[in-house]
Amino acid sequence: MSGPRGARTVAAMPISDLHHDVRGSGPPVLFISGASGDAGHFARTAARLADEFTTVAYDRRGCARSAPLQNGEVMSIVAQADDAAQLIEQLGIAPAIVFGSSGGGDIALELVARRPELVRGAVLHEPALLALAGETEAGDADLGPIVELAAVDPRRAMEAFVRISTSDATFEALDPRLRERMLGNGSHFFAQELMAFGGYIPDAERIQAGQVPIRLLVGQDGAPQLIRATARLAEQLGRPVEQFSGHHAPYLQQPEAFAEELRPILRQLAGVDRPATERRFASPVVQ
């Protein structure tokens, strides 16, 4: 299931309509974000990794600085995966390693199912697979009051959602420009994306048939309902679950440390083995 039944099929969005940031050189890594769909989620992590990888992050369709959904268009995991595929193709970075977190993990799974030839390996961090694990959309955190708030004040609801999904300290430390874009995406997220992500069930058989190497990650202090969902996905795919430090969004909480935890996995998937003494870290970039 990839989106609401009856949603019309839409074409992949031209990359000229998808804001994207490309940094560094080396094996390509595409980062796909979940809630708020903003490339800035990964700015500091991508900058840290740009000394040995070509990192690409983008604002997803309908989010932040990318083009909005077309009139009457319903948010679709399939369309989002097609956008990611088109970005990989038009940037000439196939096959790329794909990192997807939360709802971005859902999109990465659909990309693997639909276009495995474009994906060298996939790293999924707490994908938002509540339906797969038999969870309610509220899960342990009980999002009911936040969803009700979204009907009258989507900005405040988005702030509450980000705080409960990460931490108060993480929210307060966000770059003000990134924070403003995230809050501005509240209407779109609650009206279009929350149910699409929560209801998505990946096609495990098709994913396995593509033979793409997949790594499954959860945070030491991650979202309990998504940790259970990741465990259920691991059972279906026959893959282990690896624990990282941090909470549900470590790339916002501790971006440089997260990059260094992620680096060995990216090297393994890329088939490279570069000594740590040869690394030169990239300079910070704006979000």
Q: Helical H runs in 154-249?
A: 154-165, 168-173, 176-184, 186-188, 194-199, 204-209, 224-237
Give the tens place of pLDDT for each residue, 134-168.
Answer: 875 444 456 889 999 999 999 999 999 999 999 99
Give the tens place of pLDDT for each residue, 162-212.
Answer: 999 999 999 999 999 999 999 999 999 999 999 999 999 999 999 999 999
pLDDT > 90: percent of the chain = 82
Higher pLDDT, 56 or 141: 56
Contact 210, 113 (CB under 8 A): yes
Whether 238 shows a pLDDT value over 60: the answer reads yes
φ, ψ of residue 252 to 5 degrees: the values are -100, -35
C-alpha to C-alpha distance for 261 and 209, rounded to whole angstroms: 29
Q: How many CB atoms lie within 10 A of CB 76?
A: 22
pLDDT-derived band at 274, boundaries 50, 70, 90: low
Q: What was the pLDDT predicted at 14?
A: 82
What average pLDDT does this structure show over 220-241? 96
Q: What is the mean pLDDT of the chain?
A: 90
pLDDT > 70: percent of the chain = 89
Domains in the chain with CATH codes: 15-278 (3.40.50.1820)
Q: What was the pLDDT predicted at 16?
A: 87
Whether 286 shows a pLDDT value over 70: the answer reads no
**Position of tokens 């705080």?**
163
**Joined tokens for residue 242:** 């690896």
Whether 41 shows a pLDDT value over 50: the answer reads yes
Q: What was the pLDDT predicted at 1?
A: 36
C-alpha to C-alpha distance for 183 and 161, rounded to whole angstroms: 10
**Joined tokens for residue 250:** 């470590």
pLDDT-derived band at 11, boundaries 50, 70, 90: confident
Q: What was the pLDDT predicted at 151?
A: 96
What average pLDDT does this structure show over 54-69? 95
pTM surpassing 0.75?
Answer: yes
What average pLDDT does this structure show over 23-32? 98
C-alpha to C-alpha distance for 281 and 287, rounded to whole angstroms: 17
pLDDT-derived band at 4, boundaries 50, 70, 90: very low
Q: What was the pLDDT predicted at 275?
A: 52
Give the tens place of pLDDT for each residue, 76-128.
Answer: 999 999 999 999 999 999 999 999 999 999 999 999 999 999 999 999 999 99
Q: Omega before 95 cis (within 30°)? A: yes
Whether 225 shows a pLDDT value over 90: the answer reads yes
Q: What was the pLDDT predicted at 189?
A: 97
